[in-house]
Amino acid sequence: MFGLGKRDLTLFFIVAAMALFAPFILNPFPTDSGMAQFNAGYPDLMQRFVIFGILAIGFNILFGLTGYLSFGHAAFLGVGSYAAVWMFKLLSMNVIPAILLSMIVSGLFAVVIGYVSLRRSGIYFSILTLAFAQMSYNLAYSVLTPITNGETGLQITLDDPRILGVSATADGGIPVTNLFGLEMRAYETLNIGPWAFQFSVGYYVAAVIMLISFYVAIRIFRSPFGMMLRAIKSNQNRLYYTGLNARPYTLAAFVISGMYAGLAGGLLACMDPLAGAERMQWTASGEVVLMTILGGAGTLIGPVLGAGFIKYFENIFSKINDQVVHGWVSFLPDGLEDLVVALIHPFVGKGWHLTLGLMFMLIVIFLPGGLVEGGQRIARRLRRKPSPDDAKSASTEPAE
């Protein structure tokens, strides 16, 4: 079905189910329990999960298939965001034109950067892309301030023209981003006992786009074009000797990957109409690399998992402050409590980078294939047992 093999179809349905039921999966703890701190099922973070998932899927098409490590992918993300916000400012608050323009602009941008950068490979390619991204960042930050609004970031205002929409709503507010009237920020809360699940329009729009992107990525992975990209990764010289020119293929992969990043940037702007220059900073580019390696480079689902992992740490661990830790260990005697808090302190709150760094080291050292390898190892261990129950969830998926 959909031109996918059985395994890929199963994977696709697992991802689809995860995306559909994310508000439940990510909110395992009752709202007023102490563990509610670890719930991630609120619209903003769920949107980030899928949007950065798109970014990582796109990055993986380049890095996972061709082996070209781009250190400048954040530039496309930023360009996509700026394009989308300008669309909101000039045309209308509908997200469709914004998403389309962000993909087109980032695609063009990728053609230019890719044409120059792909003349080199390996570390030189990485440095070239990094240089281009930093250039874009600095341009957006200062010289291009009339277009990008510098450090403050580009925002929509009451006096934007919006030719197809309205400059201001009837009650004098700034109109919100929507999909033919369906507001991105609208959400419904479903209360089941002590649990509260939030279903956000923005999240489901982003999730559907993520699924489409994921599907396209699977098709690319399994296509002859994908095979050619893999050939480039394994031995580019041999490819040249057989008389094939690899450049058009790598450029195509680079542009596709850049358009994915632009799409992610455009979606970020759709969920929250602001574009800031720091989206293009080299740390943001590095984050995409981390996501892909953490999840498992070259695998289909790995980058999505890696993106979720990093965003979870950034948004959940950074919000655990000393007061919260004190709450957890309040059952201990006073002196011991302070000691435990002092020990945990460097790893939570503003120390979330440290925790993430440690996790990254552990994963790279013990699971070189990323989270996907971890999952495979667990699955293999379970399968060795007499009753293999692990594939059950997959087998109950309807196949239509």
Smallest distance from the beta carbon of 192 to another protein, in angstroms?
8
Binding mask 114-153 for another protein (x = CB under 8 A): ------------------------x--xx-------xxxx
Here the tokens at position 262 are: 């632009």
> Does 185 engage in binding with another protein (CB under 8 A)?
yes
Of the candidate spans 43-51, 112-120, 292-300, 335-343, the one that interacts with another protein by CB under 8 A turns out to be 43-51
Using CB under 8 A, which residues numbered 333 to 352 contact another protein? 349-350
Q: Which of 15, 43, 92, 301 binds another protein (CB under 8 A)?
A: 43
**Residue from the set 124, 166, 188, 357 that interacts with another protein by CB under 8 A:** 188
Point out which span in 37-45, 120-128, 222-230, 245-253 binds another protein (CB under 8 A).
37-45
Residue from 4, 16, 18, 20 in contact with another protein (CB under 8 A): 20
Q: Which of 28, 116, 189, 343 binds another protein (CB under 8 A)?
A: 189
Secondary structure string (H, E, C) spanning the chain: CCCCCHHHHHHHHHHHHHHHCHHHHCCCCCCCCHHHHHCCCCHHHHHHHHHHHHHHHHHHHHHHHHCCCCCCHHHHHHHHHHHHHHHHHHCCCEHHHHHHHHHHHHHHHHHHHHHHHCCCCHHHHHHHHHHHHHHHHHHHHHHCHHHHCHHHCEECCCCCCCCCCCCCCCCCCCCCCEECCEECCCEEEEEECCEEEEEEHHHHHHHHHHHHHHHHHHHHHHCHHHHHHHHHHHCHHHHHHCCCCCHHHHHHHHHHHHHHHHHHHHHHHHHCCEECHHHHCHHHHHHHHHHHHHHCCCCCCHHHHHHHHHHHHHHHHHHCCHHHHHHHCCCCCHHHHHHHHHHHHHHCHHHHHHHHHHHHHHHHHHCCCHHHHHHHHHHHHHHHCCCCCCCHHHHCCCCC
SS (H, E, C) 56-96: HHHHHHHHHHHCCCCCCHHHHHHHHHHHHHHHHHHCCCEHH
- Is 274 a binding residue for another protein by CB under 8 A? The answer is yes
What is the spatial distance between Cα 261 and Cα 394, in angstroms, rounded to a whole number?
Answer: 30
Q: Does 321 bind another protein (CB under 8 A)?
A: yes
Minimum distance, C-beta of residue 224 to another protein, in the bound complex (Å):
24
174 vs 340 by CB, closer to another protein: 174
Looking at 279, 302, 310, 356, which residue binds another protein (CB under 8 A)?
279
Examine residue 4 and tell whether it contacts another protein (CB under 8 A): no
- Within positions 49 to 108, which residues make up the interface with another protein, using CB under 8 A? none
Q: Least separation, in Å, of the C-beta of 238 and another protein?
A: 33
Contact call for residue 395 and another protein (CB under 8 A):
yes
Which of 15, 19, 22, 45 is the binder for another protein (CB under 8 A)?
45
Using only C-alpha atoms, what is the Rg of the chain?
A: 22
Residue whose CB is less far from another protein, 336 or 391: 391
- Chain positions 210 to 239 lying near another protein, rule: CB under 8 A, are none
Size of the site for another protein (CB under 8 A): 56
Q: Does 162 bind another protein (CB under 8 A)?
A: no
Instruction: Say whether residue 157 binds another protein (CB under 8 A).
Output: yes
Measured from the CB atom, is 238 or 383 closer to another protein? 383
Interacting residue ranges for another protein, rule: CB under 8 A: 6-7, 10, 20-21, 24, 39, 42-45, 48, 138, 141-142, 150-153, 155, 157-159, 168, 171-174, 176, 185, 188-191, 198-199, 272, 274, 276, 278-279, 314-315, 318-319, 321, 323, 349-350, 391, 394-399
